[in-house]
Amino acid sequence: MATSLTSVLIIYTGGTIGMAQNPVTGALEPFNFHHLLDNVPELRLLGSSISTIQFEPPIDSSEIEPSQWARLVYLISENYDLFDGFVVLHGTDTMAYTASAVSFMLENLSKPVIFTGSQLPIGVLRTDGKENLITAIEIASAKYPDGKPVVPEVCIFFENSLMRGNRTSKISAENFNAFASPNYPLLAQVGVHISYDESEIRRPDETKPLKAHYSMDNNIAVLKLYPGISRQAVHQILGIPGLKGVVMETFGAGNAPKCEWFLTELREAIQRGIVIVNVTQCNSGSVQMGLYSTGNTLLGCGVLSGYDSTTEAAIAKLMFLFGHGLSPEEVAKAMNRSFVGEITIPDE
Out of 3, 6, 13, 16, the active site residue is 16
Kindly state whether residue 169 participates in binding ligand ASP, applying the rule CB under 6 A.
Answer: no
Nearer to ligand ASP, 119 or 278 (CB): 119
Contact call for residue 166 and ligand ASP (CB under 6 A): no
Contact yes or no for 185/167 (Cβ under 8 A): no
Does position 149 interact with ligand ASP (CB under 6 A)? The reply is no
Helix or strand or coil: residue 140? helix
How many chain residues interact with ligand ASP (CB under 6 A)?
A: 10
CA atoms of 133 and 70, how far apart (whole Å): 23
| 29 in contact with ligand ASP (CB under 6 A) | no
DSSP-derived 3-state class of residue 124 = coil
116 CA to centre of own chain? 11
One of 15, 165, 254, 341 touching ligand ASP (CB under 6 A): 15
DSSP code of 5?
Answer: P
State in angstroms the smallest separation of the CB of 121 from ligand ASP. 9
- 121 lines the binding site for ligand ASP (CB under 6 A): no
- Give residue 332's identity as a one-letter amino acid code: A
CB of 232 to ligand ASP, least distance (A): 33
The distance of closest approach from Cβ of residue 92 to ligand ASP in the complex, given in angstroms and rounded to an integer, is 3
Per DSSP, the three-state class of 105 is: helix
CB of 168 to ligand ASP, least distance (A): 14
Q: Which of 66, 91, 152, 341 binds ligand ASP (CB under 6 A)?
A: 91
Told to judge if 16 belongs to the known catalytic residues of this protein, a careful annotator would answer yes
| Cβ atoms of residues 123 and 159 within 8 Å | no
Contact 340/103 with Cβ under 8 angstroms? yes
Taking the alpha carbons at both ends of the chain, their separation in whole angstroms is 44
Catalytic residue ranges: 16
Binding footprint of ligand ASP on the chain (CB under 6 A): 14-16, 60-62, 91-93, 117
